[in-house]
Amino acid sequence: MQSEGWWNAPIAHAARFANRLLRSLTDMTVRPAEPSHRAELLRLRRALWPDCSEEMHAREMANYFTDGSGQTIFVVARPSGSLAGFAEFSVRDRVDGSFSNRVAYLEGWFVEADLRGSGWGRRLVEAGERWARAQGLTELASDTELDNVAGQRAHVALGFRETFRQVHFLKPLN
């Protein structure tokens, strides 16, 4: 009896761990963001855009939660209520390389490191694609930084094709 117990214990422990992991993965959902997600969204936005000012985060998030803004956010919600990822979508009037005048745009896309590679990024983008199609839009555009090679590969895996590499400029007009 004793010998059966000592070597079974690590196996039972691993099985419990695998079960918990499976349960947490299957209990997670992709859903539209709600105002109650603001604090969690801000935490994830800070991780994706560490250089973005608090004022800009607040302004942009307020826009997403304004009715009729034409923008939306989908989130990956953990069973605990915390968020594990998000994707923000807007509609832009003109996108270089696009065929249509109004184009859905993936403005931000983030999944926490412990869940990457499990399909949550894809599910977030698919939710945005359904949202865009429902408005009659036929194209989805996006961008990543030049050195974000992993982000570029993930885009290509989801069916995006690279259009242009650009350097953006801005000049204040006083």
Ligand X SMILES: CC(C)(COP(=O)(O)OP(=O)(O)OC[C@H]1O[C@@H](n2cnc3c(N)ncnc32)[C@H](O)[C@@H]1OP(=O)(O)O)[C@@H](O)C(=O)NCCC(=O)NCCS
Select 84 or 132, whichever has its Cβ closest to ligand X: 84
The Cα–Cα gap between 60 and 41 comes to 11
Residue with the shortest CB distance to ligand X: 121
- The residue (of 128 and 131) whose beta carbon lies closer to ligand X is 128
Question: How are beta strands 103-111 and 140-142 bridged, if at all?
Answer: parallel
- For residue 48, the minimal CB distance to ligand X (Å) is 6
Q: Which is nearer to ligand X, 11 or 167 (CB)?
A: 167
| Shortest distance, position 34 Cβ to ligand X, whole Å | 21
Q: How far is the CB of 147 from ligand X (least distance, A)?
A: 10
Residues found near ligand X in the complex (CB under 6 A)? 48, 108-111, 116-122, 144, 148, 150-151, 153-154, 157-158
| CA separation for the pair 44, 40 (Å, rounded) | 6
* Among 172, 108, 93, 174, CA closest to 139: 93
Is 15 or 146 the residue whose CB approaches ligand X more closely?
A: 146
Residue 108 and residue 121 in contact, taking contact as beta carbons nearer than 8 Å? no
The string over 114-132, giving b where at least 16 C-beta atoms fall within 10 Å of a residue's C-beta and e elsewhere, is ebeeeebbebbbebbbebb
- Minimum CB–partner distance for residue 133 and ligand X (Å): 19
